[in-house]
Amino acid sequence: MHTPTMVRRVLAITAIVFGIATVFAGTRVLLGSNPGYTVFGPLLVYNTAMGLVYVIAGFMGLRGSRQGMHAAGLVFGLNLLVLGFSAYLYMTGQAIALESVRAMTFRTVVWLILLAGFAWVRKKEAA
């Protein structure tokens, strides 16, 4: 059986690695790499900056399940808002690619899973 501490560490490390990958990918595109689809500049800047927040949230998760849960909740909420706005822009024919909406959906789902994981760990630690 997995201990809550081990699960918390896996969740936190996942957040950190995901954040580093997000910063790396976003920075490449900001520096001129072509991702193969139309890039919506404000979303690219948001996601790249959020990559740093993902790393910070991961380190907060390493400190404790309460901090990790709150950080993951904040990231999930922000990503959900941006996903909603991105979907709206796409559906109204604005300059945003379906790939951007899919990527934002992926990010939002990842952080929902991390939030659920940190909440589970917090519940197990409190029991």
Enclosing domain of residue 78: 4-126
Does residue 96 register a pLDDT over 70? yes
Total-model pTM: 0.94
pLDDT more than 70, % of the chain? 99
Count of domains observed in the chain: 1
Cβ 72 vs Cβ 116: under 8 Å = no
Quick one: 80 exposed, middle or buried, by C-beta within 10 A (0-12, 13-18, 19+)? middle
Convert the pLDDT of each residue in 8-40 to its tens digit: 999 999 999 999 999 999 999 999 999 888 889
Q: What counts of helices (H) and strands (E) characterise the chain? A: 4, 0
Convert the pLDDT of each residue in 70-80 to its tens digit: 999 999 999 99
Convert the pLDDT of each residue in 53-67 to its tens digit: 999 999 999 999 999
Does residue 1 register a pLDDT over 70? no
